């Protein structure tokens, strides 16, 4: 196979690591200077730290640049130039697209983009989709309610850029979306893992359609939740649809920074367009070796209206020890994002990786796809309840399932849970990001 | 693999396209049908710079 058939950009995707580092340093210098000279927010942040553009000469210098985080952006927005505040690096008239974060961790953050920024967003997705085998003969169905959340907007434009025919699922309901996929013989789809499983369930129960047999979807790109990198969840999705499922992780503020390729060895970091640093949550020490978890600090080199420089994502992850057989030199993240480095997932004093709970739940075939984790306070102690559904006809097996759950959850998360079994179909269903982790502890 | 591609020559072509587009915009007399479409061309040119031209000084 020719290199141009394997890679979106064979030059950048196979650049030796030392050349990538050189490129990253130059690009970091450029975006730092851009933001320093155009945004009062960045200028003050860096001036207060005593750093100006000429000071960035090495990778170590980059590490001295103060981090930005979501709370800073929330504090700025709502002020002039309205509504973005003085983080904006271009005249307001040059902004052509508005989106916002999903609000999972609080007040949504506004995201302005110029047309060039939006072209860049599509470019980042073109890398993703081409690596996952999307080509100009694909018909890509996007079952997403196009609105202020960025979600699969970028995927839509990225797929167009690759040359695919894109079918916007928009305001159709789940049944109508499935029927439209069938009618148009869609070959690929993008959705959250929760919705991929939910659609399959609806197809079988309400329409008598078996997606693996009756539809032609053979590639699914998932995002928005960690399920695509959880083996047991991926297996459920692939079996339900008879398709390969590929993960991608990105975020509204910094873009689509990672992707799985067809080898499914982990998430490639797009190191030509982003700088990803993983650092120790407690000490801030840079982690470069595989097998040690830390939080991601990320820089997007070429998004200009609202630059993202050393942004503290609080996402927990680790470098992979393996090199991908695809030939890309971009390093791999093992197992996707496993949790967050803030109080949201600290339970009984330990960092709980919700992905571990999902891995256990989805490994037990008698359990349905839906579950919820409820954290409350009993006196001074945290209390965790796991709500589950048994699949129809499995009610007699509840004790065996319970026993397996207790053992596996203890091994994987080190915690004990109250287990609640609910009637199949009664837990909430979601079309975008599922809200499975419900923290009802009083705020301190 | 980078050596298989004539990056420098491609970067020169990209630079020429950028220059031509900017010249077109400069002579439009403010015609929005020209200016806005040139902006879109320039956004695509920027993607070419990211994919090709930015590498010239690295390789």
The predicted structure's pLDDT at residue A341: 77
Q: Specify the number of domains making up chain A.
A: 2
Q: Indicate if A337 and A363 belong to the same structural domain.
A: no
Q: Which stretch of DSSP H or E encloses residue A432?
A: none
Q: A123 to chain B: nearest residue by CA?
A: B47
CATH of the domain at A360: 3.30.300.30
Residue of B nearest to A126 (CA): B47
Domain boundary among A306, A322, A341: A341
Evaluate whether residue A362 is within a structural domain. yes
Under 8 Å between Cβ of B24 and B34: yes
Q: Provide the CB-side half-sphere exposure for A207 (13 A, CA).
A: 20
B8 lies within 8 A of chain A by CB: no
Average pLDDT over residues A206-221: 98
Instruction: Flag whether residue A15 sits within 8 Å of chain B, measured between CB atoms.
Output: yes
pLDDT at A272: 98
Q: How far apart are CA A343 and CA A161, in angstroms?
A: 39
Cross-chain residue pair B59–A19, CB shorter than 8 Å? yes
pLDDT of A215 > 90? The answer is yes
Instruction: Say if A316 falls within a structural domain.
Output: yes
Do A64 and A163 lie in one domain? The reply is: yes
* B4-30 residues labelled b (16+ CB within 10 A) or e (exposed): ebebeebbeebeeebeebeeebeeeee
Measured between beta carbons, the chain A residues lying within 8 angstroms of B54 are 23, 26-27
Task: Quote the percentage of chain A above a pLDDT of 90.
Answer: 80
Give residue limits of the domains in chain B.
Answer: 2-55
Co-location of A317 and A355 in the same domain: no
B42 touching chain A per CB within 8 A? yes
Q: Both A380 and A239 in a single domain?
A: no
From the list A11, A22, A119, the residue facing B44 with the nearest CB is A119
Q: What does the pLDDT read at residue A437?
A: 86
**ipTM confidence score:** 0.96
What residues in B contact A6, CB-CB < 8 Å?
Answer: none
Q: Which residue of B has its CA nearest to A328?
A: B1
CA distance A350 to chain B (A): 42
Q: Do A12 and B55 touch (CB under 8 A)?
A: yes
Average pLDDT over residues A117-125: 98
A165 and A299 in one domain?
A: yes
A97 Cα to chain B: minimum distance (Å): 14
- pLDDT score for A343: 56
A366 and A324 assigned to the same domain: no
**Which structural domain, as residue segments, surrounds residue A128?**
1-341
Q: Does A190 touch chain B (CB under 8 A)?
A: no
Residue A297 pLDDT:
98
Which CATH number is A102's domain given? 3.40.50.12780
Read off the pLDDT of each residue in A147-171 and give the average, rounded to a whole number: 94
Residue A115: pLDDT band (50, 70, 90) is very high
pLDDT at position A133 is 98
Q: Are strands A219-222 and A244-251 parallel, antiparallel or unpaired?
A: parallel
Task: Give the CB-side neighbour count of residue A189, counting CA atoms within 13 A.
Answer: 32
User: What's the pLDDT tens digit per position in A239-288?
Assistant: 999 999 999 999 999 999 999 999 999 999 999 999 999 999 989 999 99
Whether A96 has its CB under 8 Å from any CB of chain B: the answer is no
Q: Would you call A120 and B46 a contact, using CB atoms and an 8 Å cutoff?
A: yes
* Residue A150 CA from chain centroid, whole number: 12
Any domain includes A259:
yes
For A341-375, the pLDDT digits (tens) are: 765 577 877 777 788 899 899 999 999 999 999 99
Q: Last residue of a domain, which of A295, A311, A341? A: A341
Coil, strand or helix at A260? coil
H or E element that contains A400: helix A398-413
Contacts of B4 in chain A (CB under 8 A): 3
Does residue A241 sit at the B interface (CB-CB below 8 Å)?
A: no
* Mean model confidence pLDDT for chain A: 93
Domain termination residue (choose one: A323, A341, A359): A341
Q: What is the pLDDT of residue A250?
A: 94
Q: Minimal Cα distance from A301: which residue of B?
A: B50
CA–CA separation, A260 and A325 (whole Å): 12
**HEC states along A305-356?**
CCCEEEEEEEEEECECCCCCCCCCCCCEECCCCCEECCHHHEECCEECCHHH
User: Which H or E element spans position A167?
Assistant: strand A165-168
A23 contacts in chain B (CB < 8 Å): 54-55, 58
B16 touching A (Cβ < 8 Å): no
Assigned domain for A444 exists: no
Residues A195 and A332 in one domain: yes
Please check the confidence at residue A426 and state whether its pLDDT lies above 60: yes
Nearest chain B CA: its distance from A272 CA (Å): 9
């Amino acid at each position: 196979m020719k290199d141009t058939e394997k890679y979106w950009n064979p030059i950048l995707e196979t650049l030796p690591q030392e050349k990538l580092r050189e490129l990253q340093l130059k690009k970091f210098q450029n975006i730092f200077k851009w933001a320093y000279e155009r945004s009062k927010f960045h200028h003050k942040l860096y001036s207060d730290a005593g750093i100006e553009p000429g000071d960035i000469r090495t990778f170590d210098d980059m590490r001295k640049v103060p981090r930005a985080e979501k709370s800073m952006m929330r504090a700025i927005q709502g002020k002039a130039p309205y509504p973005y505040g003085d983080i904006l690096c271009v005249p307001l008239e040059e902004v052509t697209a508005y989106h916002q974060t999903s609000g999972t961790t609080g007040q949504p953050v506004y995201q302005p983009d110029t047309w060039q920024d939006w072209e860049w967003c599509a470019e980042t997705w073109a890398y993703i989709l081409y690596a996952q085998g999307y080509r100009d003969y694909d018909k890509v169905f996007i079952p997403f309610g196009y609105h202020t959340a960025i979600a699969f907007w970028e995927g839509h434009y990225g797929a167009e850029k690759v040359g695919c025919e894109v079918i916007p699922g928009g305001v159709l309901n789940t049944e109508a979306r499935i029927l439209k996929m069938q009618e148009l013989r869609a070959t690929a789809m993008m959705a959250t893992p929760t919705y991929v499983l939910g659609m399959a369930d609806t197809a079988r129960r309400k329409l008598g359609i078996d997606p693996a047999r009756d539809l032609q979807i053979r590639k699914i790109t998932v995002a928005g939740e960690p399920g695509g990198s959880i083996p047991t969840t991926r297996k459920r999705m692939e079996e339900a649809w008879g398709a390969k499922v590929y993960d991608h992780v990105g975020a509204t503020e910094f873009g689509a920074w990672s992707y799985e390729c067809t080898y499914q060895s982990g998430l490639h970091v797009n190191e030509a367009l982003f700088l990803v640093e993983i650092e120790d949550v407690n000490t801030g020490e840079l982690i470069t070796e595989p097998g040690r978890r830390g939080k991601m600090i990320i820089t997007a080199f070429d998004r200009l209206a609202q630059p993202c420089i050393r942004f503290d994502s609080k996402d927990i992850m680790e470098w992979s020890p393996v090199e991908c057989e695809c030939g890309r030199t971009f390093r791999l993240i093992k197992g996707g994002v496993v949790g967050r480095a803030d109080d949201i997932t600290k339970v009984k004093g330990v960092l709980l990786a919700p992905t571990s709970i999902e891995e256990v739940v989805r490994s037990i075939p008698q359990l349905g796809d839906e579950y919820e984790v409820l954290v409350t306070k009993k006196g001074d102690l945290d209390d965790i309840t796991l709500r589950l559904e048994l699949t129809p006809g499995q009610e007699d097996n509840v004790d065996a399932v319970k026993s397996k759950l207790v053992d596996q959850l203890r091994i994987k998360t080190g915690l004990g849970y109250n287990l609640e079994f609910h009637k199949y179909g009664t837990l909430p269903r979601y079309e975008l990001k599922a809200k499975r982790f419900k923290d009802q502890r009083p705020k301190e | 693999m980078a050596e298989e591609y004539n990056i420098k020559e491609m970067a020169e072509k990209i630079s020429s396209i950028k220059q031509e587009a900017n010249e077109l915009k400069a002579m439009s007399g403010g015609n929005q049908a020209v200016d806005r479409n040139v902006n879109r061309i320039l956004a695509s040119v920027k993607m070419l710079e990211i994919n090709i031209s930015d590498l010239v000084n690295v390789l």
